[in-house]
Chains A and B, each alone.
Chain A
Amino acid sequence: MDTIILLTLTGLGLAALYFLVASGLSLVFGLADVLNFAHGLFLGVGAYATWWAAGNLPGAGPDGLGFVVAVAFGVAAGTLMAVLVELVLIRPLYSRTIEQVLVTVGLSLAGVALLQATWGADARPFPRPEWTRQVTSILGAQVPNGGLLLIIAAVLVLAAILAFLQWTRYGLIIRAGVENREMVTALGIDVRKAFTLVFAIGGAAAALAGALGSVYFGTVSPQQGGSLLIFAFIVVVIGGMGSVVGSAYAAVAVGLLQQFVNYYGTSGLGDICVVALLAVVLLLRPQGIAGKVATA
């Protein structure tokens, strides 16, 4: 029984990580039709900025309030990066979908190489508060605190994004834009501001995922974002592009499936099951659990 609880909670931790990456991807794709390969880079920037801040920024540190400051710095860096990418690189190419994909591909290659050039290709130990290394006993299962932190963060982010979408004017514009962008533009609303906003939200969530994911794994490396990104893509497609709630459901399904099959089957089998799930969802319901039909 404790094994099942442990697997469920670690699976949910993984799901939280996927959700943090996928929610931004899904919003960006749903609103702006940009398949953002550079999203993994935002994650890497967030992780490295947190790591750097914990060691160098005055007031920040690996513990207590200093750690909160370090994570806030990392999230700010990721958000800034995302906004800059949107303004400088993506904006001139709107409505040219393929070129946008190509630019983000180039950016992900160059950006990861730049991280690697600056801080080396090897994983570095991540400064993390003492309590995240310990475990909490929940119903007899010893659950690592880093995973619980991820789950709490993801739930808070989900609630914040939903509240933002539901109760603010910009949230309304974003929801309407995902539904029908041409109509929103025709009504005289500048959707491009919303694009920047969506990129900022996605960048912040991804940077948070980078920082807290590094706390969970204990290390930070340039390639971290890339390997998470593929599963985040799968979560986005299964959940339905443009739907944050769909991403949350899909992230939970993917995280739990991966964790349970990897434990009870051979290691690696869970990853394959996830892709099989993707194939089944696409064949039966190409638009995903919730969301508009995924087309170019």
Chain B
Amino acid sequence: MTEVKSPELPAPPAAVPTESTPGRFNRLRPYLPLVVLAVAVILPYSTLHLPGIFEGTLNSPGTLQLLAVCLVFGGLAAGYDLLFGRTGMLSFGHALYFAAGVYGTDILITRAGLPLWQAAPLAIVGGATLAGLIGAVALRTIGIAFAMVTLAFAQVGAILVARDFGGLTGGEEGLPLDVAGLPAGLVGVANTVNLYWLALAYLVAVVFVVHRVAASPTGRVLAGVRDDERRIGVLGLDPYRFKLVAFTLSGGLAAAGGTVYCLIVGGASPHITSSELTLSLLVMVVLGGPGTRWGPVLGGILYMYLDHRLVSFGSSDAVSALPAFLSRPLSEPLFVLGTVFILAVYFFPGGLASLAPRLALLRNALRLGPRRPG
């Protein structure tokens, strides 16, 4: 195994050329997210066709739905990072709160006949309450035991959904959303663009909330809990309360994501309750870069995109032309993503977000190379 060198080692010479790089881009840098957001907002008006990247044109309903799902998972990953990357809590039960949002919205609309504007807040508040209650019990343990307890509670959720107690969830077949209770603008293939904007709004809201929390005094305590929980206790603060706040908030954000996802997909299916969903959230955050501003969002979007697109990549001619021992594994998205994930843990511990500084370091090293002996 090659040991990844710590970036601090060649620090003194590497610091010099950063001043000489052109400053125009650096001045624009803070506005980059706004530019990306503006592009994302006007994207559905484009009829651009990107062969190989998306099947239809950018404004076709299929592409927009894929993008909307990606955006929702970008938001979910950012919300999960509030637990994992910023507070240091390894929860294996996050799928439960997402599923609470999906099934809560679906059941309230389809079975109870509530309008969306009542069902959505109820589902989100319900998801956050559930997270608060379970967190209150689970947070009595720490570390790996905490991970196990959250996993076990999420498993209860999965069993409840799959066994269909009281005939509410539709069991293994899932529960299609009754569109009669929805506003007309959210129904039908032609209105996929509205769902896309809804997903974008959700992502922006989650990013905003997570950044505000991380920048607040509470956020600094959460970072303290992540780095050294005992020290926070010695300072006279109760780590349990802060962790519970983060857990509840993160659960509420996941439930909101569930509501949006339910509208995009038009129903609920039991696979979203599985522990595999939580594991993939973990993969998204680690691939993106835990505890960074944009890493989890990028990781979530990229993961979902690959998860969808690798299926058609796997059945494409280029892959089926390969011998069977190569083409078969490559047609399984999870095999490719799992392998990439393992490699990322070894070679890019900071995820995608750490790539830019690493590349800059490499560039500087190459530029300085001729002047330095060895």
Asked if B282 CB lies within 8 Å of chain A CBs, one says yes
Q: Most B CB atoms within 10 A — which of A97, A102, A266? A: A102
Question: Chain B, 138-176, contact with A by CB distance < 8 Å: what is the 0/1 string?
Answer: 001111110111011101100110110100000000000
- What total of A-B pairs shows CB separation below 8 Å? 135
- B73: chain A residues at CB < 8 Å are none
Judge whether B140 and A106 touch: CB under 8 Å: no
Judge whether B332 and A272 touch: CB under 8 Å: no
Out of B144, B151, B335, B349, name the residue touching A296 (CB < 8 Å).
B144
Judge whether B342 and A114 touch: CB under 8 Å: no
Judge whether B345 and A103 touch: CB under 8 Å: yes
- B335: chain A residues at CB < 8 Å are 109-110, 113-114, 117
Residue of B at shortest CB range from A121? B332
Out of A109, A226, A267, name the residue touching B338 (CB < 8 Å).
A109
Known A-B contacts A101-B90, A114-B332; the reply to A230 vs B151 at CB < 8 A is: yes
Asked if B353 CB lies within 8 Å of chain A CBs, one says no
Judge whether A117 and B345 touch: CB under 8 Å: no
Judge whether B145 and A102 touch: CB under 8 Å: no
Asked if B112 CB lies within 8 Å of chain A CBs, one says no
Q: How far is A287 from B349 in the complex, measured between Cα atoms in Å?
A: 31
Asked if A172 CB lies within 8 Å of chain B CBs, one says no
Asked if B46 CB lies within 8 Å of chain A CBs, one says no
Known A-B contacts A118-B328, A286-B145; the reply to A110 vs B163 at CB < 8 A is: no
DSSP majority for the A interface? Answer: helix
Asked if A35 CB lies within 8 Å of chain B CBs, one says yes
Asked if A116 CB lies within 8 Å of chain B CBs, one says yes
Judge whether B342 and A233 touch: CB under 8 Å: no
Smallest distance from the beta carbon of A293 to chain B beta carbons, Å? 9
Question: Chain A, 263-279, contact with B by CB distance < 8 Å: what is the 0/1 string?
Answer: 00011100110010011
Smallest distance from the beta carbon of B36 to chain A beta carbons, Å? 28
- A106: chain B residues at CB < 8 Å are 283, 338-339, 341-342, 345
Q: How far is A113 from B341 in the complex, measured between Cα atoms in Å?
A: 14
Judge whether B332 and A266 touch: CB under 8 Å: no
Judge whether A286 and B144 touch: CB under 8 Å: no
Judge whether B145 and A112 touch: CB under 8 Å: no
Q: How far is A278 from B150 in the complex, measured between Cα atoms in Å?
A: 11
Judge whether A296 and B142 touch: CB under 8 Å: yes
- A29: chain B residues at CB < 8 Å are 144
Judge whether B279 and A109 touch: CB under 8 Å: yes
- B117: chain A residues at CB < 8 Å are none
Smallest distance from the beta carbon of A24 to chain B beta carbons, Å? 16
- A112: chain B residues at CB < 8 Å are 334
The A196-235 residues at the B interface (CB cut-off 8 A) are: 226, 230, 233-234
Out of B140, B145, B283, B329, name the residue touching A113 (CB < 8 Å).
B329
Residue of A at shortest CB range from B153? A275
The A233-247 residues at the B interface (CB cut-off 8 A) are: 233-234, 236-237
Asked if B275 CB lies within 8 Å of chain A CBs, one says yes
Judge whether B275 and A230 touch: CB under 8 Å: yes
Smallest distance from the beta carbon of B169 to chain A beta carbons, Å? 12
Q: Most A CB atoms within 10 A — which of B144, B282, B333, B334? A: B144
Asked if A194 CB lies within 8 Å of chain B CBs, one says no
Smallest distance from the beta carbon of A190 to chain B beta carbons, Å? 18
The A104-148 residues at the B interface (CB cut-off 8 A) are: 105-114, 116-118
- A35: chain B residues at CB < 8 Å are 144, 147-148
Out of B90, B137, B160, B276, name the residue touching A98 (CB < 8 Å).
B90
Asked if B331 CB lies within 8 Å of chain A CBs, one says yes
Asked if B208 CB lies within 8 Å of chain A CBs, one says no
- A278: chain B residues at CB < 8 Å are 148-149, 152
Asked if A253 CB lies within 8 Å of chain B CBs, one says no
Asked if B337 CB lies within 8 Å of chain A CBs, one says yes
Judge whether A286 and B349 touch: CB under 8 Å: no
Asked if A168 CB lies within 8 Å of chain B CBs, one says no
Residue of A at shortest CB range from B3? A92
Asked if B39 CB lies within 8 Å of chain A CBs, one says no
Judge whether B332 and A92 touch: CB under 8 Å: no
Residue of A at shortest CB range from B341? A106
Question: Chain B, 263-288, contact with A by CB distance < 8 Å: what is the 0/1 string?
Answer: 00000000000011001101100100
Q: How far is A24 from B282 in the complex, measured between Cα atoms in Å?
A: 25
- A237: chain B residues at CB < 8 Å are 145, 148-149
The A12-37 residues at the B interface (CB cut-off 8 A) are: 29, 33, 35, 37
Question: Chain B, 118-146, contact with A by CB distance < 8 Å: what is the 0/1 string?
Answer: 00000000000000000001001111110
Judge whether A295 and B143 touch: CB under 8 Å: yes
Asked if A89 CB lies within 8 Å of chain B CBs, one says yes
Top 5 A-B pairs, shortest CB-CB distance: A296-B143, A110-B338, A109-B338, A268-B163, A113-B335
Binding site for B on A (CB under 8 A): 29, 33, 35, 37, 89, 92-93, 97-99, 101-103, 105-114, 116-118, 226, 230, 233-234, 236-237, 266-268, 271-272, 275, 278-279, 282-283, 286, 294-296
A/B interface sample: 19 pairs, CB < 8 A: A33-B144, A92-B1, A92-B346, A97-B143, A102-B282, A106-B341, A107-B342, A109-B276, A113-B333, A114-B332, A233-B148, A233-B151, A268-B160, A278-B148, A278-B149, A278-B152, A286-B145, A294-B144, A296-B142
